[in-house]
C-alpha cells in the first residue's frame, strides 16, 4: 500500500543492502506508537518483504511520489538511538554500508532465561570418580558433570543446554545423586589474592579517559574497577579476543565480585544474545564480558570498558564489512567512560600513545616470576621436535606435570609450493594457501573448506610439490610417536565454531590433557594449572612473514606462552637465534624491542608513526593508468601511494601512508570514488 507523507509519519529505514543509503517509508497511523528509532520494522522493498532498522523519523520525505508503508514492527530487540548512531558512524568511517552492519548486529529475538544455575555439590575427587563411573552407563550424565568440573563457577542451565543439548533428565539424576546442586543465589564470592599494586592504581584511574594497563596479572584489577563502577550505579563491559578467554574471564570476575556477569558473543544462540541485549538496554544487566561484537550493546550508562589482550589481532574485523578495530572503537568512548586497554605485551600503537601521554600508562612493578625462556637453535637439529624439547617433555611427564606446545598454524604442513611453476599452491576458490592434511592426505583450504583430492598444483597440474612449515597436526603426529602413553589434545582457533568443540577444549585445558598442542590463540590469558613446560614451535613462520609487524608478533607470541606458565621453562625453536625480537623476549625487555623496531618503522614511515589504508583490487585488474591516477590522488591529499603490490592469490593492492588519519581516509575515499571496485581497509592488520 502506498500513501502520501504526513507530519511525523516518515520512517527512514536502513535495509541490509550493500548501498550507503536509507529509504523512506510511510508509518500507518496504527503503528505510529510502536515505531521508534532503533526498532526493527518490516517493509516491502522492490516488491519483496524485508526487515530493516529505523534510523530516523521525519515529518516529510525527500522522495518524490507516494511511499510504501511500514507493514509491521518487531517486538524483539532494538537499538538505543545512541548505540545505533555509533554503529552507523563506525560503518561510515570505514566507507562501508551501514544497513548491512546494523542489521547484522541486532539479534532477532529475545530468549527466556532457562532453569537457573548449577554447580558441583560433591568434592573434586568424588566428582572425578563419578565421571569415570558414569562414562559407560550414563554418558550424558558424565558429559554434564565434566562440563561443571571444567567451569570456573556455577553454570547457567541455558549455557549447558547450548553446549550439550537436552539436559533435563541427566541434570535431575545428578541432583538426586548429590553430585550437583542448584545455586539459588548469585555466584559465591571467592576470596582470591590481589597484588598490592592493584589497590595503589585504582585511585589513580579517572572516571573517564583512556589508560593502558601494562601488566602480567590484570584480572584482579579488572575486578576492582568493575566493583567500583557498579557501586557508582554505572555499567561495565569487559572484552576478550576469543570466546574461550571471555568465558574464563567471566568466571574469574563472578568469583571475585560475587555477582552474576552476562556473557555475550556471536556464537551464543540468537535468543540468548537477544536476552542479554535487552537486559543491557533496560539497565537490568549491568556487567557483561564479551568478544568484539559486545562493543555495540546498548548500555545507557557505561562507566567502564576494558579491552583485555588489546594487542590481539582478533579484535580486527576482517571477515566482513566494516573492517573496524575494536580497540579504536572502544577508545572513541573515552569521553564518557573509563577505557582500559590491558596487555602484558602491548601493541606498538597503544604503547606509543601512552608514551605520548594520550593514554595514562599504568605499569606496576611486578615480581619477576614465571618461566625462563631458552632458545633452541634448529640449525643444529633435525625433525619437528628438537632434542632439548623432547627431553623436557619426558621430564615433565615423569614428574606428573603438563606440557603446552604452541604452533603457528593448524594442518600437517603449513604450506605447499609447486616445484614446476614455483608458485605457492593456492585455493582456486578463494586464493589462500592450501594446507596439507595428514588424516585425509589432501590439500585443504582452511577458509572455504575446499579440498583437492589430487596432490597436484591446481595451477599447472604438476605433482612435484614441496611442503614447508610445521602445522599442529604434524606436531601431534610427532608427539604421539614419541609419547604414545600420554594424553594428548590439539586445539585450533579455526575449529571453535560449535559449542561441542568449546566443551572439548574446556576439558582438555581443565584436566584431561597432559600435552596440549594449540595455535597462537593459547598464548593469551592467565597461567594454566599444572603446566610447567612450553614449546614455541613455528616462531620462524611469524618472523619470516613479509610484514612490518613480524617481530612484534613473534615477541608477543613467545611472551604470551610464557604467561600461561606459573613457572618452569619456555623453549623457543628457531633458525634465527640472534633475532632481536627473541633476544628481547628472553630478557622480558619490551622497551628494547619497541625502541629498536620503532627506529626502523619511523625511518620507513610505518605505524605507530603513520596511518595506513589498504586498497584491495581483487582478481579483476584495474583499468590501465590506475596507478598514475591513484598517485595523483595521493599527492593531492598529502599521502604516499605504494603499489601495486603483488599478493599471490589475493589480487593486487595499493597501500596509502600518511601522518594524518583524516588525510589517509579522504584519499582512500577519493580512490574508491574513482575506482568503485576498490575495497578499503583503514588501519589494516595484515598487509
Domain of 399, CATH number, reads: 3.40.50.300
Strands (E), 512-660: 515-518, 531-536, 569-574, 611-618, 640-645, 652-658
CA-to-CA distance for 578 and 572, rounded, in angstroms? 12
Specify whether 598 is located in the same domain as 614. Answer: no
388 pLDDT above the threshold of 70: yes
Cell of 524: 593469551
Place of cell 614441496: 466
R_g of the chain, CA atoms, integer Å: 27
pLDDT band at 412 (very low <50, low <70, confident <90, very high): very low
Specify if 379 maps to a domain. yes
Split at pLDDT 50, 70, 90, the class of 381 is: confident
Check pLDDT > 60 for residue 19.
yes
Choice between 338 and 248, residue whose per-residue pLDDT is larger: 338
Do residue 569 and residue 478 come from a single domain? yes
Statement to judge: residues 248 and 148 lie in one domain: no
Residue 374 sits at the vertex; the CA angle it makes with 371 and 375, to the nearest 5 degrees, is: 150
User: Which pLDDT band holds residue 640 (cuts at 50, 70, 90)?
Assistant: very high
Residue 123 and residue 100 share a domain: no
Query: For 473-500, how does the pLDDT look when each residue is reduced to its tens digit (9 = 90+)?
Result: 788 889 999 999 999 988 765 555 445 5
Domain limit, last residue, from 564, 584, 603: 603
Are 205 and 259 in a shared domain?
Answer: yes
Inside any domain, residue 422: no
Of the listed ranges 48-57, 87-96, 107-116, 444-453, the least confidently predicted one is 444-453
CA 486 to each of CA 476, 527, 536, 570: distance values in angstroms, whole numbers, following the listed order: 11, 22, 19, 20
What is the value of pTM for the model shown? 0.85
> Rounded to an integer, what distance in angstroms lies between the CA atom of residue 596 and that of residue 348?
12
Specify if 305 maps to a domain. yes
- pLDDT level of residue 430 (50, 70, 90 thresholds): very low
Q: Look at residue 436 in the predicted model and tell me its pLDDT.
A: 57
- Residue-wise pLDDT for 584-613, tens only, equals 999 999 999 999 999 999 999 999 999 999
Q: Please check the confidence at residue 413 and state whether its pLDDT lies above 50.
A: no
Q: Are residues 386 and 240 in the same domain?
A: no
Q: Which range among 174-183, 307-316, 508-517, 526-535 shows the weakest confidence by mean pLDDT?
A: 508-517
190 close to 255: Cβ distance less than 8 angstroms = yes
**Helix (H), strand (E) at residue 282:** helix 270-282
Within-domain flag for 440: no
What is the pLDDT at residue 608? 96
Looking at the DSSP bridge assignments, the partners of residue 155 are 118
CA 325/CA 316 separation, integer angstroms:
4
Task: State pLDDT tens for residues 193-237.
Answer: 788 888 888 888 999 999 999 999 999 999 999 999 999 999 999
Count of domains forming the chain: 5
> How many angstroms separate the CA atoms of 659 and 602, rounded?
11
Q: What is the pairing mode between strands 302-308 and 235-239?
A: parallel
Confidence of residue 173 (pLDDT cuts 50, 70, 90): confident
Same domain, 6 and 95: yes
Domain-embedded: residue 244: yes
pLDDT at residue 339, rounded to an integer: 98
Within this chain, do residues 224 and 344 fall inside the same structural domain, yes or no?
Answer: yes
Residue 447, pLDDT > 50, answer no
- Of 362, 387, 421, which residue sits at a domain end? 362
Kindly state whether residue 111 falls inside one of the protein's structural domains.
Answer: no
Task: Confirm whether 213 is domain-assigned.
Answer: yes
The residue with greater pLDDT, 519 or 671, is 671
In the chain, the percentage of residues whose pLDDT exceeds 90 is: 53
Q: Is 443 part of a structural domain of the chain?
A: no
Task: Give the pLDDT score at 178.
Answer: 87
Could you list the residue range(s) of the whole structural domain that residue 650 is in? 610-682
| pLDDT at res. 509 | 64
In whole angstroms, give the CA distance from residue 231 to residue 16. 40
Mark whether 486 and 504 lie in a shared domain: yes
pLDDT for residue 192:
75
Per DSSP, the three-state class of 641 is strand
Higher pLDDT, 85 or 124: 85
Same domain, 395 and 537: yes
Mean pLDDT of the chain: 86
In the structure, what pLDDT confidence band is assigned to residue 370 with cuts at 50, 70 and 90? confident
The reply to whether 493 and 377 lie within a common domain is yes
Local confidence band at 419 (pLDDT 50, 70, 90 cut-offs): low
Does residue 212 share a domain with residue 329?
yes
**678: burial class by Cβ within 10 Å (0-12, 13-18, 19+)?**
buried
Instruction: Report the CATH number at residue 616.
Output: 3.30.70.850
Positive/negative CA dihedral, 384, 387, 390, 393? negative
Mean pLDDT value of segment 34-55 = 95
Pick from 603, 633, 660: which residue ends a domain? 603
CB atoms within 10 A of CB 537: 27
Amino acid at each position: 500500500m502506498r500513501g502520501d507523507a504526513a507530519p511525523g509519519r516518515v520512517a527512514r529505514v536502513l535495509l541490509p543492502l550493500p548501498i550507503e543509503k536509507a529509504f523512506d517509508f510511510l508509518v500507518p497511523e496504527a503503528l505510529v506508537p510502536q515505531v521508534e528509532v532503533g526498532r526493527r520494522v518490516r517493509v516491502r522493498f522492490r516488491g519483496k518483504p524485508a526487515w530493516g532498522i529505523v534510523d530516523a523519523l521525519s515529518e516529510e520525505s525527500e522522495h518524490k511520489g507516494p511511499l510504501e508503508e511500514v507493514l509491521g514492527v518487531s517486538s524483539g530487540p532494538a537499538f538505543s538511538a545512541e548505540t545505533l548512531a555509533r554503529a552507523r558512524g563506525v560503518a561510515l568511517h570505514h566507507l562501508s554500508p551501514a544497513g548491512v552492519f546494523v542489521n547484522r548486529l541486532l539479534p532477532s529475538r529475545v530468549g527466556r532465561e532457562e532453569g537457573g544455575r548449577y554447580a558441583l555439590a560433591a568434592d573434586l575427587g568424588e566428582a572425578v570418580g563419578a565421571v569415570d563411573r558414569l562414562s559407560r552407563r550414563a554418558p550424558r550424565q558424565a558429559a554434564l558433570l565434566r562440563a561443571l568440573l571444567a567451569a570456573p563457577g556455577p553454570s547457567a542451565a541455558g549455557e549447558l543446554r547450548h553446549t550439550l543439548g537436552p539436559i533435563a533428565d541427566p541434570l535431575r539424576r545428578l541432583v538426586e545423586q548429590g553430585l550437583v546442586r542448584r545455586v539459588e543465589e548469585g555466584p559465591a564470592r571467592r576470596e582470591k589474592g590481589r597484588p598490592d599494586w592493584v589497590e595503589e592504581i585504582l585511585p589513580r584511574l579517572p572516571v573517564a579517559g583512556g589508560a593502558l594497563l601494562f601488566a602480567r596479572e590484570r584480572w584482579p584489577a579488572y575486578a576492582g574497577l568493575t566493583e567500583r563502577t557498579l557501586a557508582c550505579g554505572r555499567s561495565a563491559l569487559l572484552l576478550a579476543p576469543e570466546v574461550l578467554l571471555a568465558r574464563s574471564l567471566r568466571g574469574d570476575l563472578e568469583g571475585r565480585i560475587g555477582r552474576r556477569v552476562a556473557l555475550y558473543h556471536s556464537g551464543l544462540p540468537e535468543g540468548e544474545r537477544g536476552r542479554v541485549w535487552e537486559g543491557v538496554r533496560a539497565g537490568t544487566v549491568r556487567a557483561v564480558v564479551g568478544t568484539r561484537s559486545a562493543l555495540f550493546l546498548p548500555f545507557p550508562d557505561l562507566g567502564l570498558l576494558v579491552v583485555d589482550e588489546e594487542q590481539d589481532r582478533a579484535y580486527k574485523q576482517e571477515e566482513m564489512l566494516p573492517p573496524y578495530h575494536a580497540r579504536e572503537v572502544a577508545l572513541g568512548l573515552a569521553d564518557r567512560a573509563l577505557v582500559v586497554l590491558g596487555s602484558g605485551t602491548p601493541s606498538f600503537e597503544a604503547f606509543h600513545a601512552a608514551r605520548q601521554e594520550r593514554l595514562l600508562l599504568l605499569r606496576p612493578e611486578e615480581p619477576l616470576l614465571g618461566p625462563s625462556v631458552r632458545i633452541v637453535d634448529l640449525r643444529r637439529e633435525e625433525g619437528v621436535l628438537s632434542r632439548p624439547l623432547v627431553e623436557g617433555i619426558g621430564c615433565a611427564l615423569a614428574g606428573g606435570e603438563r606440557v603446552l606446545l604452541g604452533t603457528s598454524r593448524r594442518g600437517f604442513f603449513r604450506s605447499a609450493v609447486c616445484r614446476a611453476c614455483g608458485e605457492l599452491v593456492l585455493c582456486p576458490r578463494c586464493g589462500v594457501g592450501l594446507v596439507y592434511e595428514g588424516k585425509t592426505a589432501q590439500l585443504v583450504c582452511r577458509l572455504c573448506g575446499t579440498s583437492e583430492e589430487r596432490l597436484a598444483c591446481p595451477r599447472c597440474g604438476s605433482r612435484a610439490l614441496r611442503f614447508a612449515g610445521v602445522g599442529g597436526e604434524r606436531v601431534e603426529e610427532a608427539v604421539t610417536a614419541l609419547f604414545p602413553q600420554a594424553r594428548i589434545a590439539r586445539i585450533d582457533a579455526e575449529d571453535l565454531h560449535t559449542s561441542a568443540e568449546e566443551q572439548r577444549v574446556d576439558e582438555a585445558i581443565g584436566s584431561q590433557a597432559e600435552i596440549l598442542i594449540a595455535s597462537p590463540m593459547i598464548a593469551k590469558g592467565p597461567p594454566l594449572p599444572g603446566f610447567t613446560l612450553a614449546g614455541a614451535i613455528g616462531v620462524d613462520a611469524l618472523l619470516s612473514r613479509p610484514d612490518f609487524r613480524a617481530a612484534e608478533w613473534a615477541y608477543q607470541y613467545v611472551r604470551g606462552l610464557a604467561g600461561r606458565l606459573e613457572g618452569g621453562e619456555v623453549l623457543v625453536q628457531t633458525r634465527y637465534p640472534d633475532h632481536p625480537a627473541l633476544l628481547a623476549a628472553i630478557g622480558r625487555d619490551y622497551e628494547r624491542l619497541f625502541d629498536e623496531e620503532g627506529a626502523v618503522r619511523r625511518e620507513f614511515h610505518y605505524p605507530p608513526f603513520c596511518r595506513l589504508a589498504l586498497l584491495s583490487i581483487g582478481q579483476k585488474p584495474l583499468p590501465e593508468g590506475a596507478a598514475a591516477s591513484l598517485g595523483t590522488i595521493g599527492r593531492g591529499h598529502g599521502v604516499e601511494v605504494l603499489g601495486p603490490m603483488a599478493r599471490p592469490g589475493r589480487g593486487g593492492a595499493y597501500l596509502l601512508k600518511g601522518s594524518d588519519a583524516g588525510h589517509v581516509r579522504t584519499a582512500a575515499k577519493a580512490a574508491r570514488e574513482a575506482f568503485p571496485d576498490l575495497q578499503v581497509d583503514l588501519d589494516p592488520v595484515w598487509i
